[in-house]
Structure 1
Amino acid sequence: MRKLINVFFVAAGLVFTANVANAQQKFGHLNSDEIFASLPEAKTVSATVENLAKTKQAEIDKMIAEYQTKYKAAEDKQKTLSEANKDVVGKELQAAGQEIQDLGKRIEDARTKATKDVTDKQNELFPPLQQKVGNAIAAVAKEKGLAYVFDTSISQGFNSLVYSDGGEDITAAVKAKLGATATAAPAATKPAGAKPKQ
């Protein structure tokens, strides 16, 4: 019986110690969508990537227009085919068909290269910006003595926050640390399945 009582007190002590340790942990949350939307650098990076994508698409559109023109010309040439000009027109149609096929392959290659170029540009420009924001988040969290910071942004799919009952929103402090002054439309700060504050 005495051993059972000792075990009970040890278990109660461990539970109490765990609760005290948890009570000392501070949690905060932020909205990274709002932070990135307020950064001029993020807008510049996005504009650079969008402009590259538009340039590549314009090049592809030009090739598609050429493809359509040549295809239409081949169709029109096909209509002039007769027994009398079968050899000459047949050779012209065969050459046109090969040219159209080659142009189709060039269009597909251009699409693949454009996708790679845009992805490479994103991979070049976004990581330094993400590192800068990450450093600012870490600095603010240390200043505020936070043990954990959760991201409540929509683009993160609310994956990092299952339940929120208060906590400290450090979005504004991180934006201030980054020198961002622009305000973005407020995004939802709670996941759809979160419990409301009591």
Structure 2
Amino acid sequence: MADTNKVRYGFKNVYYSVLTETEGEVTFATPKAWKGAKSLTLDPEGDTQTFYADDMAYFTQSTNNGYSGTLEMAYLPDDVLKDIFGYFETNDGMLAEDANVAPKSVALLCEFNGDQKAVRHVFYKIVFGRPGTEANTQEDTIEPDTQSIDITCVPIADGEHNWIKAKCPSTSAKYATFFETAPKLPVPQEEA
């Protein structure tokens, strides 16, 4: 399962899979494509704490609370507004946002190119902030506006594990159907 890439570039094939948590069980819906991937920026969340004793760093502990950052897409299609942000279709054919509805958590699937092979990634639990609205006048050239959304990638508790993300190299048996089948939380080899 070695990744032979020397560099990573490109960002494409964004899919989302609505997550359901019921009484400790986590399930994911079949992934849906979300076209127009522009960028993904995720910074680690968590701290490193150092305890000093005997005039030295006696104990150091790091915490991993996931990631936070921004997903930039070309557009928010109606399916995304309904599936993730809880917009409702109205009787007169509009889409309406209800302030009482919080965005749903989803798994976010995507692909990064490499110099040798593309690598697919899944972030198991993405919590979305509400998207803003921006529009600009057209000038002598057309420059598309994009949509940036604050996101947080948080761990999902599963027994002894708190899963955050996984990468799927092209050598994985899961690679061919990665975007077609619902994600599942990982099972380490020693537990299989």
TMscore range, shorter length: under 0.3
TM-score normalised by the chain length of structure 1: 0.20
| Bigger relative contact order, structure 1 or 2 (CA pairs below 8 A, ≥6 apart) | 1
TM-score normalised by the chain length of structure 2: 0.20
Q: Rg bigger for which structure?
A: 1
Which structure: greater helix fraction? 1
